[in-house]
């Protein structure tokens, strides 16, 4: 997509979304857009809305006994994992994806609540209906956050910050929940801005303040740079956005591959990706943590079956097909291993998905340690319409 003006409209390209801008999660379309982006002359208005501790806040709202208490949504059993943590729990270092045992050790008074995803989905739909009163160009990232393109908006409000204020007030009135918002001229900065004033606040990063904001930002605070990548930057003597900006595109691509182009542009406050309404997810996956660690191939292969069923049901429901199957293995010591295989044509049926997933497991045997969790995902998704209805069974 090099050479395309990616800011030509808010709708732009109707493709798909994974977890936005974690570099490991950049899909091919995002990476190509970032690598080929040419700064546009038109100033866009983009809002990133992020609900504050969404799952935990819903539980506190619905149960007054939880008000002001440290709450974790997730399994409290020995092998459970925290899905979300209230701000009271976060003060103790409790965070999402943390093992429940660790969370309870860090916060002895932690209250565990079972997730109610149907409730969260219903509230999320309420919130999206509020968004739709202001713009039709909405890019949901998950149940609790979304990008809104408001350069033109349905209420005729001239200032994006006033739109954000109106949306946040309406969410509070309708749901009793708090939302934070970031307002800027691109998606990267809007996301940074919403993080900057959490919880229950909003922040504007303008074209005048954007470059200085990014220059002062530690590399570990960049959306898309995790601890491992931050360590690689530090090893190269790069600590801040200003340091990244001082490196050439050639240097960054030599050390970070395609992601180097992403770092090059965002260090300059440039992100020309459009807000993409109705994006098709680029991957779908399922995983399960076991009550006891597994060591035998047959037991692990059996545990893969319901995960494969879940992934394929999603494909059947959405009409999407993918070409890359990934097996995720988490060992008893929480080390993670993944193995992937891509095929020339989309996986044509549940049997093909099973053959690939189990084949990846078999090829990895014998595993060096006992297994705590297994996951299966299918990526490089395309709709049946994109593939012109072709369902070609794999001959492997």
Binding-site residue positions for Mg(2+): 50, 144
For 149, phi then psi, to 5°, come to: -95, 115
Determine if the peptide bond prior to 162 is cis (ω within 30°).
no
**Which member of 59, 88, 139, 145 is catalytic?**
145
Structure tokens at 302: 């059996």
Task: State yes or no: is 145 an active-site residue.
Answer: yes
In terms of C-beta distances under 8 Å and separation of at least 24 residues, what long-range contacts does 226-230 make, across chains too? Answer: 226/22, 226/23, 226/24, 229/23, 229/256
CB 62 within 8 A of CB 301: no
Q: Scan for tokens 């204020």, then name that residue.
A: 165
For 329, phi then psi, to 5°, come to: -125, 125
Interhelix angle for 350-364 vs 297-318, to 10°?
Answer: 150
Give Cα 374 distance to the centre of its chain. 20
For 222, phi then psi, to 5°, come to: -70, 130
Give Cβ neighbours of residue 37 (< 8 Å, ≥ 6 apart): 6, 265, 270, 271, 272, 273
For 276, phi then psi, to 5°, come to: -110, 105
Give Cβ neighbours of residue 269 (< 8 Å, ≥ 6 apart): 186, 188, 189, 207, 210, 211, 213, 214
In terms of C-beta distances under 8 Å and separation of at least 24 residues, what long-range contacts does 244-248 make, across chains too? Answer: 244/219, 245/214, 245/215
CA distance 60 to 71: 8
Structure tokens at 123: 């509230």
- Residues forming the annotated binding site? 50, 144
CA distance 119 to 124: 9
> Which of the residues are catalytic?
145
């Amino acid at each position: 997509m090099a050479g395309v003006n990616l800011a030509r409209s808010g709708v732009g390209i109707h493709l798909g979304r994974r977890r936005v801008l974690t570099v490991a999660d950049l899909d091919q379309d995002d990476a190509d857009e970032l690598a080929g982006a040419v700064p546009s002359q038109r100033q866009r208005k983009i809002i990133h809305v992020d609900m504050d501790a969404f799952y935990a806040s819903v539980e506190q709202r619905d149960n007054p006994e939880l008000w002001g208490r440290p709450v974790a949504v997730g399994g409290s059993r020995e092998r459970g994992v925290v899905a979300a943590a209230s701000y009271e729990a976060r003060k103790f270092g409790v965070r999402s994806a943390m093992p429940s045992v660790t969370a309870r050790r860090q916060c002895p008074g932690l209250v565990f609540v079972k997730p109610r995803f149907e409730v969260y989905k219903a509230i999320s739909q309420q919130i999206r209906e509020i968004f739709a009163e202001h713009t039709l160009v909405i890019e949901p990232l998950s149940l609790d956050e979304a990008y809104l393109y408001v350069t033109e908006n349905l209420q005729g409000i001239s200032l994006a910050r006033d739109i954000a204020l109106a949306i946040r007030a309406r969410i509070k009135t309708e749901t009793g929940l708090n939302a934070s918002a970031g307002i800027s001229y691109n998606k990267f900065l809007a996301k940074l801005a919403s993080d900057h004033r959490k919880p229950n606040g909003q922040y504007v990063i303008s074209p005048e303040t954007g470059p200085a904001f990014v220059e002062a930002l530690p590399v570990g605070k960049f959306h898309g740079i995790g601890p491992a990548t931050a360590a690689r930057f530090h090893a190269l003597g790069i600590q801040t956005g200003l340091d990244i900006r001082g490196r050439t595109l050639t240097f960054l691509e030599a050390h970070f591959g395609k992601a180097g182009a992403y770092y090059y542009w965002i260090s300059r406050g440039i992100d020309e990706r459009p807000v993409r309404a109705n994006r098709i997810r680029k991957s779908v996956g399922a995983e399960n943590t076991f009550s006891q660690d597994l060591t035998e191939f047959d037991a692990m292969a059996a545990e893969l079956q319901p995960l494969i069923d879940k992934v394929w049901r999603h494909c059947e429901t959405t009409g999407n097909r993918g070409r890359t199957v990934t097996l995720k293995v988490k060992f008893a010591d929480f080390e993670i291993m993944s193995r992937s295989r891509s095929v020339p044509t989309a996986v044509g049926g549940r049997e093909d998905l099973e053959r690939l997933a189990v084949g990846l497991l078999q090829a990895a045997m014998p595993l060096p340690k006992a297994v705590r969790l297994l996951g299966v995902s299918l990526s490089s998704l395309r709709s049946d319409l994109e593939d012109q209805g072709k369902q070609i069974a794999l001959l492997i």
